[in-house]
Amino acid sequence: MSTVLHARGLGKRYRRRWALSDCTLDIPAGRVVGLVGPNGAGKTTLLSLAAGLLRPTAGTIEVCGGRPGSGRDQLGRVGFVAQDTPAYASLTVADHLRLGDRLSRSWDSQLARDRIRRLGLPPGQRAGNLSGGQRAQLALTLAIAKRPELLILDEPVASLDPLARDAFLRDLRDTVAGQQLSVVHSSHLVSDLERVCDYLIVLVASRVQVAGEVTGLLARHRLLTAPGIDPAALPAGLHAVSVRHSGPQDTAVVRCDAPAGPGSVPAGPGALSPVGLEDLVLAYMSQSAPALEVAR
Binding-site ranges for other proteins (CB under 8 A): 51-55, 69, 71-72, 75, 78-80, 82, 84, 86-91, 95, 98-100, 102-104, 139, 142-143, 146
Least Å distance, CB 183 to other proteins, is 15
According to DSSP, the β-strands at 182-187 and 58-63 are unpaired
CB-based contacts of 144: which residues, under 8 Å, 6+ apart?
A: 79, 111, 112, 115, 151, 175
Give the nearer residue to other proteins in terms of CB position, either 9 or 71. Answer: 71
What is d(CA 6, CA 61) in angstroms, rounded to the nearest whole number?
6
Q: How far apart are CA 74 and CA 5, in angstroms?
A: 13
143/146 Cα distance (integer angstroms): 6
For residue 71, the minimal CB distance to other proteins (Å) is 7
The conformational region for residue 84 under phi > 0 = left, psi -120 to 50 = alpha, else beta, is left
Note whether 281 and 202 are within 8 A (CB). Answer: yes
Instruction: Indicate the residue among 95 and 278 with the shorter CB distance to other proteins.
Output: 95
Name the amino acid, one letter, at 57.
Answer: T
Nearer to other proteins, 79 or 270 (CB): 79
Cβ atoms 6, 35 nearer than 8 A:
no
Q: Which is nearer to other proteins, 98 or 113 (CB)?
A: 98
Q: Rounded to the nearest whole angstrom, what is the least distance from the CB of residue 204 to other proteins in the complex?
A: 25
CB of 13 to other proteins, least distance (A): 12
Closest distance to other proteins from the beta carbon of 135 (Å):
11
In whole angstroms, the minimum distance from the beta carbon of 279 to other proteins comes to: 34
Looking at beta carbons only, is 53 or 208 nearer to other proteins? 53
The answer to whether 201 and 173 are in contact (CB under 8 A) is no
Among candidates 119, 118, 139, which has minimal Cα distance to 127?
A: 139
Identify which of residues 78 and 201 has a Cβ nearer to other proteins in the complex: 78
